[in-house]
Chain A
């Protein structure tokens, strides 16, 4: 399979500040990739370099088989993080203008495409309004249309969900999924992990300008093997020491999610779960899957070390105790 994007050892600095340091990336055609990382990690800089809006200081970059996105701009749809509209322009005129800039022929077909997109996102009635009259969420949908109007092969979305309400977030998620389903390569950045978790099949994590993770969601989950069992006792109360006695249970703590039993080193989690169910009656018991957020925090805080992890956890328990 061909790569839609290939970056090798790309570096970018702004003055003394290193924004991106030695990023290697291969993004196959048709994939749905999530770029995650905290604010200021280098996500937007990387995306802008992919878009040839910025140029790397060193390293190589290839987009849709071309040396730079300039040559294939019309095949890329880009929703920037810093986005805006021509405030005084009418919605349909703006979209038609963007379509023409993306190489679509002006005329009746373009108008029809614009209208059908507006109707799809339930904005058919605002076509003749000025952009400045729209709410932020509506503007965001218009911007999304502007970047998919020309049916691009590659879709790059920088923080597409920021500022949307849950209903529109779901609508946008469905639209992105639909784009992906038609075989387009989609890459989007976010700092909200569960959005990436819901959508992506592949995650690239950037932290302090470096790539710290590049794997499928399943790989990440299996690599960060769950070592925690989450349960709720049937009568709501846990008899002290009843879990600690079970072989394989390291520590026990009560959180707002329920009772969490952390397992020791290499013990078989399935066997421990059966032992717990033998020992006490539970209304619910599950193996807690690590969320992307857990993985993210784990990597960001460099807490691969289990002792440090335990210390952090104890700290959070102490804080929780103070609050209650």
Chain B
């Protein structure tokens, strides 16, 4: 037992207590995490510059012109209202979720204000219908600003037949907006929408409709979608979040299993190719060596899993969303990690023991890696319908069962999963892990001292049978 412990200890120290690992696993994400508040602080101080300028309009239809300024102002006001409404909805949602006031206090509102920026100030310059379009376009060039002449933000050209359709024509004419380079796309949208609205209203009027009445008739505003919870409570729908959760859990699981397994493969190949393995075998049995190595790298995977799930849970708690994550899911995350890890890692240890160098390992580890990829490929159908026969069956087939079960349990319909299914999945996983370790141990024992031609899968199967 103590030998397994010493092997595991060395394995963990040689992997996790190295500069490369600490930098890659902790410092880089920590720098990112630290950078986010820094960016927030920096952006809070910075104000987006106000966009000021003129939009020239050549109205060849002669029906729009005068009212253009009011359309532009109206559009700007409407944009502001829409944003404010969206913010209100978000705050309402989080309030409902957490029973607290907006978790985004003052600074967040200020941040939002900054992100939106002040309203643009756009004045409309109405030009004669016969104005030379090309000459006006020249005023859009960035160089035009400095050359005495006043630059333009945009030039809108409305076709002659845009409002009134001649009898012999099937469709209405159109309009086009030319803009100065590198203009904020929100400003462009505002101006284009304003021209479109102006043309539309001109058409209503020309055809004898009341624009105000049409606007009232066509405007249908839906309220935010609400979920009715088990207790009959109304709350905002968290569709996006509930879709993300299973994926986040599965990726976390996959990542820690893959990293731990990959390290195990590498260190096994290293021990074999550096020939230290025979020295080790004089002190331990192959089974002790393999078990120690698997446990050591499992601790590496667990470290990663704890750190990253800790960051994730921490983030949820900070945003007062902790309650969307059931505690049982976190417990099962660790159980399923251990099961999935034992299955995948023991197979990779067997691969590592059978080959002479990493290059040879590539071809043999591909099938094992593909096993991990299966649930990743299937995440969409599984998370959409976690209780389909397909998903249910997959959650009992090792080695994909831990991944699939984890995904099902964190999906939105987790409450529909019969209580015995996760338990059965765990039991099946234990059997699967035992079989993998058993077969891997046989390959490991034979493979470690075999040098020369790299074995193929048939040889590996033969080793399992013969040992």
Residues of A within 8 A of B (CB): 48, 51, 53-54, 70, 73-74, 76-78, 80, 82-89, 97-98, 100-103, 143, 146-147
Within the assembled complex, what's the spacing in Å between the Cα atoms of A98 and B278?
12
Decide yes or no whether B275 CB sits under 8 A from chain A: yes
> Given that A88-B14, A97-B6, A101-B6 are known contacts, is A80 also in contact with B278, CB under 8 Å in the complex?
yes
Q: What are 28 pairs between A and B in contact, CB < 8 Å?
A: A51-B281, A53-B278, A53-B449, A54-B449, A73-B283, A73-B284, A76-B282, A78-B279, A78-B282, A80-B282, A82-B278, A82-B451, A84-B271, A84-B274, A84-B275, A84-B276, A84-B277, A85-B276, A86-B271, A86-B274, A88-B14, A97-B6, A97-B10, A98-B279, A100-B2, A101-B6, A101-B7, A101-B284
Give, as a whole number of angstroms, the nearest-CB distance from B299 to chain A.
17
Residues of B within 8 A of A (CB): 2-3, 6-7, 10, 14, 270-271, 274-285, 449, 451
Verify B274–A102 contact, CB threshold 8 A. Answer: no
> Given that A84-B276, A100-B6 are known contacts, is A147 also in contact with B14, CB under 8 Å in the complex?
no
Residues of B within 8 A of A87 (CB): 270, 274
Within the assembled complex, what's the spacing in Å between the Cα atoms of A70 and B278?
14
Within the assembled complex, what's the spacing in Å between the Cα atoms of A74 and B276?
17
Question: Which residue of the partner chain A has the closest CB to B18?
Answer: A88
Verify B276–A101 contact, CB threshold 8 A. Answer: no
Grouping DSSP codes into helix (H, G, I), strand (E, B) and loop, the B interface class, with mixed when no group exceeds half, is helix
Question: Which residue of the partner chain A has the closest CB to B274?
Answer: A84
Residues of A within 8 A of B271 (CB): 84, 86
Task: From B270, B278, B282, B283, name the one whose CB has the most chain A CB atoms within 10 angstroms.
Answer: B282
Find B14's partner among A54, A77, A89, A103 (CB 8 Å cutoff): A89
* A78-B282, A88-B14, A97-B10 given; 15 more Cβ-contact pairs under 8 Å: A53-B278, A54-B449, A77-B282, A83-B275, A83-B276, A84-B271, A84-B274, A84-B277, A84-B279, A85-B274, A87-B270, A89-B14, A101-B280, A146-B279, A147-B279
Question: Which residue of the partner chain A has the closest CB to B7?
Answer: A101
Give, as a whole number of angstroms, the nearest-CB distance from B12 to chain A.
12
Within the assembled complex, what's the spacing in Å between the Cα atoms of A147 and B275?
15
Find A98's partner among B14, B281, B283, B449 (CB 8 Å cutoff): B283
Give, as a whole number of angstroms, the nearest-CB distance from B145 to chain A.
63
Within the assembled complex, what's the spacing in Å between the Cα atoms of A54 and B281?
10
> Given that A88-B14, A89-B14, A101-B6 are known contacts, is A53 also in contact with B281, CB under 8 Å in the complex?
yes
> Given that A48-B449, A54-B449, A97-B6 are known contacts, is A83 also in contact with B279, CB under 8 Å in the complex?
yes
Find B276's partner among A48, A54, A86 (CB 8 Å cutoff): A86
Question: Which residue of the partner chain A has the closest CB to B450?
Answer: A14
Task: From A51, A70, A83, A147, name the one whose CB has the most chain B CB atoms within 10 angstroms.
Answer: A83
